[in-house]
Amino acid sequence: MLSYLLRRILAAVPVMGAVAVMIFLLLRLTPGDPAAVIAGENVRPEHLAMIREQLGLNQAIHIQFLSWIARLLQGDFGVSIISGTPVLDMIASRIEPTLSIAITTMLLSVVIAVPLGVLAAAHHGTLIDRIVIAISVIGFSVPVFVIGYALIQVFSVELKWLPVQGFRSITEGIGPFAERIVLPTLTLTLLYIALITRITRTSLLEVLGEDYVRTARAKGIGEVAVLLRHALRNAAVPVITVIGIGLALLITGVVVTESVFNLPGVGRLTIDAVLARDYPVIQAITLLASLLYVVANLLIDLSYVLLDPRIRY
């Protein structure tokens, strides 16, 4: 088992390397002068030179790459062109709203989606199944921001139950915090529910066709126990895999949701950086989000060992 864990961890290193190379090359292989695009129109030549200097575009490409990697390893993810603040500090000061809605979304959608998927699989081919499928197809098709504005319209404008936008830190009390986190969480949850419900249903249906399920039924074990103890446990691996893969969707969703609800999080930081053409900030956020994705999926890979004793390489 130890060698499996070690091999998995080592396998993640080249992927991280590939991520770094691609994000690095994105700036360097851009046709034309990226510094000019970032600077925008009517820029003074000395300002352009400064941006080029800050992006490190003046050196030879391999020197640029090595010094960039060296700085990354020391925790230096670059400095904003606009404010001169280290990007990591900017992210740290904006992380609370982002983490709040990401975590609540993850929890809520698993709590809702897994039972929905089980329900659909247990009633395969019936009306219940069709309704669950419909929810998941719609969840995939309606853009997150449309859902967000629909929820604002209903719960904030019409019913006046919740504040329209904004964020309060949890340190200011759980009430105001929770009030402002409910709608963003619901907005993001629908997409995630669609993803997890779908995979729970299909992998459960696949498992229900296996011999050991038939054996369990033949032994006279109740249907609920067959579903939950025998089938769901074996369907867990694909479900957890998809939660990891869905992390990319979640990151995108957070950016959009924060923009809709005016939350001062990392997503909002990204959009502000896009509007200000602050490329170092965009680059650092993209890199960190990708590394987060690789690490999270690595952890999920490692968790298979606990979940499924058949996995031994």
- The verdict on 145 binding other proteins (CB under 8 A) reads yes
Please, are residues 200 and 113 in contact by the beta-carbon 8 Å criterion? Answer: yes
Which position among 221, 248, 305, 307 is part of the footprint of other proteins (CB under 8 A)? 248
Alpha-carbon gap, residue 1 to 303, rounded angstroms: 12
Pick between residue 117 and residue 185 the one whose CB is nearest to other proteins: 117
Q: Which is nearer to other proteins, 159 or 309 (CB)?
A: 159
31 lines the binding site for other proteins (CB under 8 A): yes
Residue 206 touching other proteins (CB under 8 A) = yes
- The residue among 226 and 281 lying less far from other proteins, judged by its C-beta, is 281
Question: x-or-dash pattern for other proteins, window 105-134, by CB under 8 A?
Answer: ------------------------------
- First vs last Cα of the chain: how many Å apart? 7
36 vs 111, which CB is nearer to other proteins? 36
Q: Is 212 in the site for other proteins (CB under 8 A)?
A: no
Q: Which of 265, 267, 236, 238 lies closest to 251 in space, CA to CA?
A: 267
166: contact with other proteins by CB under 8 A: no
What is the total count of residues that contact other proteins (CB under 8 A)?
62
Concatenated DSSP letters of the chain:
-HHHHHHHHHHHHHHHHHHHHHHHHHHHS-SS-HHHHHH-SS--HHHHHHHHHHHTTTS-HHHHHHHHHHHHHTT---B-TTT--BHHHHHHHHHHHHHHHHHHHHHHHHHHHHHHHHHHHHTTTSHHHHHHHHHHHHHHHS-HHHHHHHHIIIIIIIS--S-SS----GGG-HHHHHHHHHHHHHHHHHHHHHHHHHHHHHHHHHHHTSHHHHHHHHTT--HHHIIIIIIIHHHHHHHHHHHHHTHHHHHHHHHHHHHHHT--SHHHHHHHHHHTT-HHHHHHHHHHHHHHHHHHHHHHHHHHHHH-TT---
Binding other proteins (rule: CB under 8 A), the pick from 141, 212, 215, 225 is: 141
Q: CB of 12: closest distance to other proteins in angstroms?
A: 9
Nearer to other proteins, 83 or 169 (CB): 83
Smaller CB distance to other proteins: residue 96 or 258?
258
DSSP readout, 202-219? HHHHHHHTSHHHHHHHHT
Residue 279 engages other proteins in binding (rule: CB under 8 A): yes
Residue from 57, 178, 277, 307 in contact with other proteins (CB under 8 A): 277
Task: Find the binding residues for other proteins in span 183-202 (CB under 8 A).
Answer: 198-199, 201-202
Torsion angles phi and psi, residue 200, rounded to 5: -60, -45
Report the residue number, 198 or 230, with the smaller CB distance to other proteins: 198
Judged by CB under 8 A, the residue of 4, 5, 8, 16 near other proteins is: 16
Q: Is 82 in the site for other proteins (CB under 8 A)?
A: no
Shortest reach from residue 217's CB to other proteins, in Å: 20
Give the binding site for other proteins (CB under 8 A): 14-19, 21-23, 26-27, 30-32, 34, 37-38, 137-138, 140-146, 149-150, 152-153, 157, 198-199, 201-203, 205-206, 242, 248-249, 251-252, 255-256, 259, 270-271, 274-275, 277, 279, 282-283, 285-286, 289-291, 293-294, 297
